[in-house]
């Protein structure tokens, strides 16, 4: 799992350079005496007084004057770690017990005027019924809000060459076919449909795997002044007697306006 985690980080790094897309960056640093550190991603200066949470373990702490913090929580499986500091974008990253042995250097970004919507909360979608082999199952402490998350969002008309992008800071607990193939859970034979992202009544994308900073572009033609965003969790495709929603959690949802990246030939 750790190898996969690193591979994902390597994968997202190039996109940072091209589109300034990710909400922070992560580097391993073995010289920190087992303390992780929070820095400003631009100036690389240590940030004092940032709040650090593990919502599913009921743990919270703050960084010291050198930006350092220690996790005195017994992390048994992957967990969402959240960082909050006023003037900065809420930041989250999925961690596991290796963080106590291999501390992290986390770069957080200043709030951006192009952030049109930010929800720093942790939401649990599903029905609270799940297998003990589910990805991250036992750490769901947030009460499920049901199969949907829904929000009304104002977006000003986009100028030429701009696009709006939905960013999921962290996603855990998905038991989709892809999550199973990637070894993100231990369920042998069954899987769920992906999470669907619905914008003004149209499905614009899916979440198929767990991980940080997953992004979905909103087609410009769908954007109005007032918009409906719905995130609907999947369901177990092998349970025919009743609906078994896939229990998952996401944190740090936001919508950013960015320069358009042209993918068409």
Instruction: List Cα–Cα distances, 227 to 70, 104, 141, 262, in angstroms.
Output: 41, 37, 30, 24
175 scored as a contact of Ca ion (CB under 5 A): no
Q: Which helix (H) or strand (E) holds 5?
A: helix 2-19
Shortest CB 207 distance to Ca ion, Å: 16
Query: Cα–Cα distance between 200 and 176 in angstroms, integer?
Result: 25
Instruction: List Cα–Cα distances, 191 to 99, 195, 211, in angstroms.
Output: 29, 12, 17
Shortest CB 235 distance to Ca ion, Å: 8
Residue pair 110/40 in contact by the 8 Å Cβ criterion: yes
Contacting range for Ca ion; rule: CB under 5 A; set: 1-9, 28-36, 51-59, 241-249: 241-249
Shortest CB 144 distance to Ca ion, Å: 9
Q: Which is nearer to Ca ion, 36 or 193 (CB)?
A: 193
Query: Cα–Cα distance between 39 and 113 in angstroms, integer?
Result: 20
Q: Give the residue, chosen from 84, 119, 247, 256, that forms a contact with Ca ion under the rule CB under 5 A.
A: 247
Q: Which is nearer to Ca ion, 107 or 234 (CB)?
A: 234
Shortest CB 16 distance to Ca ion, Å: 35
Q: Which is nearer to Ca ion, 23 or 236 (CB)?
A: 236
Residue pair 106/24 in contact by the 8 Å Cβ criterion: yes
Shortest CB 206 distance to Ca ion, Å: 18
Q: Give the residue, chosen from 84, 244, 249, 256, that forms a contact with Ca ion under the rule CB under 5 A.
A: 244
Binding string, 118-147, against Ca ion, x = CB under 5 A?
--------xx-xx-----------------
Contacting range for Ca ion; rule: CB under 5 A; set: 10-18, 61-69, 170-178, 244-252: 244-252
- Please provide the DSSP assignment of 172-234 as one string: E---BHHHHHTTSS--SS--BPPEEEEETTEEEEEE-S-EEEEEEEEPGGG--SEEEEEEE--
- The residues that touch Ca ion, with contacts defined as CB under 5 A, are 126-127, 129-130, 244-245, 247
């Amino acid at each position: 799992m750790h190898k996969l985690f690193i591979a994902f980080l390597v994968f997202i790094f190039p996109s940072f350079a091209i589109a300034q897309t990710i909400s922070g960056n992560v580097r391993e640093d073995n010289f920190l005496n087992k303390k992780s550190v929070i820095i400003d991603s631009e100036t690389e200066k240590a940030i004092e007084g940032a709040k650090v949470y593990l919502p599913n373990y009921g743990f919270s702490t703050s960084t010291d004057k050198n930006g350092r913090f220690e996790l005195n929580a017994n992390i048994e499986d992957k967990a969402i770690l959240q960082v909050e500091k006023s003037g900065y974008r809420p930041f989250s990253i999925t961690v596991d017990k290796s963080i106590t042995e291999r501390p992290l250097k986390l770069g957080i970004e200043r709030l951006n005027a192009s952030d049109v919507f930010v929800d720093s909360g942790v939401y649990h979608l599903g029905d609270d019924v799940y297998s003990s082999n589910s990805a991250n199952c036992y750490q769901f402490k947030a009460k499920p809000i049901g199969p949907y998350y829904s929000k009304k969002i104002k977006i000003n008309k986009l100028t030429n060459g701009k696009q709006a992008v939905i960013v999921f800071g962290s996603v855990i607990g998905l038991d989709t076919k892809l999550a199973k193939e990637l070894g993100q859970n231990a369920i042998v034979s069954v899987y769920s449909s992906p999470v669907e992202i619905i914008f003004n009544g149209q499905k614009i994308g899916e979440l198929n795997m767990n991980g940080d900073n997953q992004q979905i572009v909103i087609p410009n033609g769908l954007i109005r002044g007032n918009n409906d965003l719905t995130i609907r969790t999947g369901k177990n495709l092998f349970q025919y007697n009743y609906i078994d929603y896939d229990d998952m959690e996401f944190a740090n949802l936001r919508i950013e306006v960015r320069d358009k990246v042209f993918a068409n030939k």
